[in-house]
A and B are shown apart, each in its own frame.
Chain A
Amino acid sequence: GAVVSQHPSWVICKSGTSVKIECRSLDFQATTMFWYRQFPKQSLMLMATSNEGSKATYEQGVEKDKFLINHASLTLSTLTVTSAHPEDSSFYICSARIGDGNQPQHFGDGTRLSIL
């Protein structure tokens, strides 16, 4: 149980285009979803936290106009990287949590984004 599906697994696109990444909780309803970014050989960095039906809370230094997060339902959150540039190339990972603040977070398998 507690499966999080992330799509696509990898994407390559030209500089200047926008890319949407989907995160779905398949067998549970996620109260809260999180988006992380991971550069090669580095740890995960939290980008934003989103609760269904409300605006996402972004971490310091993360541009909310560049990384648009929509959490329209209890099973779906999307991250759109707008006007992507090569420096946005990274491994993007979402996670979802059931219920209260001490439940485990369940992670997707990540999306490898390469901007040419």
Chain B
Amino acid sequence: DAKTTQPNSMESNEEEPVHLPCNHSTISGTDYIHWYRQLPSQGPEYVIHGLTSNVNNRMASLAIAEDRKSSTLILHRATLRDAAVYYCILKVWGNKLTFGTGTQLKVEL
């Protein structure tokens, strides 16, 4: 599976939108873009995934660039509970989830 590049950390204020970027310039046509997050001392939690089209669910939105070389996870209104490490992972159908270092999101009042 191709690699992703994410900023080490980002900060946000509570109740403001957060845009978490992910670069994946070597993405292949069969790579799905998955996002997970990990709160302190817990296992990861699935957030969202997509292939080509933008995706929305109750937790977040995923915006995928037209050339698929980058994507952005959007949290519409950050809360203190959203403070976590966010992982952007490329995964081919059936393959394993391989975690990188992710982005540490800090949310302040």
A→B interface (CB under 8 Å): 4, 6, 34, 36, 43-46, 49, 93-95, 100-102, 104-110, 112
A-B pairs with beta carbons under 8 Å apart, 21 shown: A34-B97, A43-B87, A43-B102, A44-B44, A44-B99, A45-B99, A46-B98, A93-B43, A93-B44, A95-B43, A100-B93, A100-B94, A101-B93, A101-B94, A102-B32, A102-B49, A104-B34, A104-B49, A108-B43, A110-B41, A110-B43
Name the residue on B nearest A93 (C-beta). Answer: B43
Task: Give complex CA distance A107, B38 in Å.
Answer: 10
Chain A residues contacting B32 (CB-CB under 8 Å) are 102
Chain A residues contacting B95 (CB-CB under 8 Å) are 101
Chain A residues contacting B87 (CB-CB under 8 Å) are 43
B→A interface (CB under 8 Å): 32, 34, 36, 38, 41-46, 49, 87, 91, 93-102
| Interface of B, helix, strand, loop or mixed by DSSP | loop
Task: Give complex CA distance A107, B41 in Å.
Answer: 12
Name the residue on B nearest A9 (C-beta). Answer: B41
Name the residue on B nearest A112 (C-beta). Answer: B41
Name the residue on A nearest B91 (C-beta). Answer: A102
Q: Does B99 lie within 8 Å of A43, measured CB to CB?
A: yes
Q: Does A107 lie within 8 Å of B101, measured CB to CB?
A: no
Name the residue on B nearest A46 (C-beta). Answer: B96
Name the residue on B nearest A10 (C-beta). Answer: B41
B96 vs chain A, min Cβ distance (A): 6
A114 vs chain B, min Cβ distance (A): 14
B13 vs chain A, min Cβ distance (A): 26
Instruction: Evaluate whether A43 and B49 lie within 8 angstroms (CB atoms) in the complex, with A107-B43, A110-B42 already known.
Output: no
Chain B residues contacting A49 (CB-CB under 8 Å) are 96
CB contact between A34 and one of B41, B49, B94, B96 (< 8 Å): that residue: B96
Q: Does A43 lie within 8 Å of B94, measured CB to CB?
A: no
Task: Give complex CA distance A107, B44 in Å.
Answer: 6
Q: Does A109 lie within 8 Å of B43, measured CB to CB?
A: yes
Task: Give complex CA distance A4, B44 in Å.
Answer: 11
Task: Give complex CA distance A105, B32 in Å.
Answer: 14
Task: Give complex CA distance A93, B44 in Å.
Answer: 9
